[in-house]
Each structure stands twice: as structure tokens, then as C-alpha cells.
């Protein structure tokens, strides 16, 4: 199997083989990321945070705090009861 197609092609006869190639590619990317200078790693992290096609989103501490405060202010009675 051509490694460049490992992420999009599944070998139906040997599906685990495809998974192994995918994981190896992922590990290679991670290894390469770890080798980057700190400022370059920061650029990659910033790109991932801003990437609108990303499937997972993570909140920094400030965003998490703002979301918590918004939820509490929107439902004060519920949180008052939960605190009892």
C-alpha cells in the first residue's frame, strides 16, 4: 500500500494494516512536531486553534471561565439549588 494513501484508502482484505499505516503516519507527524523549534511549534498550535475545519475545539482558561460565568448567570436558581 502506498503510504501517502494510507489515510484515505482501506485495504478491505487487511483493514488493520491500513490502520497501522495511518497510526504510523500520525506518529511521524508528532515526532516531526516535537523536533521543531519552540517558536515553530507555537505557529502549528496557533494554526490548529484557528483552523475552522478542526473536528475538536478546546477552550483556553479564559474562554472556559467566561462560559462558566455565562451559564451560572443564565441559570442562577439552578446553581443555587445545586450548591445546597
φ/ψ (deg, to 5) at 35 = -80, -15
Burial 14-48 (b: 16+ CB within 10 A, else e): eeeebeebbeeeeeeeeeeeeeeeeeeeeeeeeee
Q: How confident is the model at residue 2 (pLDDT cuts 50, 70, 90)?
A: very low
- What would the pLDDT profile of 58-82 be if each residue is shown by its tens digit? 677 888 888 889 988 998 898 888 8
**Which tops the pLDDT comparison, 22 or 60?**
60
Distance CA 43, CA 81 (A): 44
Task: Please state the pTM of the whole predicted model.
Answer: 0.41
pLDDT at position 6, please? 41
Amino acid at each position: 500500500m502506498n503510504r501517502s494513501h494510507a489515510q484515505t484508502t482501506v485495504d478491505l482484505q487487511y483493514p488493520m494494516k491500513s490502520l497501522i499505516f495511518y497510526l504510523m503516519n500520525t506518529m511521524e507527524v508528532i515526532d516531526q512536531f516535537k523536533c521543531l523549534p519552540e517558536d515553530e511549534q507555537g505557529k502549528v498550535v496557533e494554526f490548529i486553534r484557528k483552523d475552522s475545519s478542526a473536528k475538536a475545539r478546546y477552550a483556553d482558561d479564559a474562554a472556559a471561565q467566561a462560559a462558566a460565568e455565562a451559564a451560572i448567570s443564565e441559570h442562577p436558581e439552578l446553581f443555587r439549588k445545586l450548591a445546597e
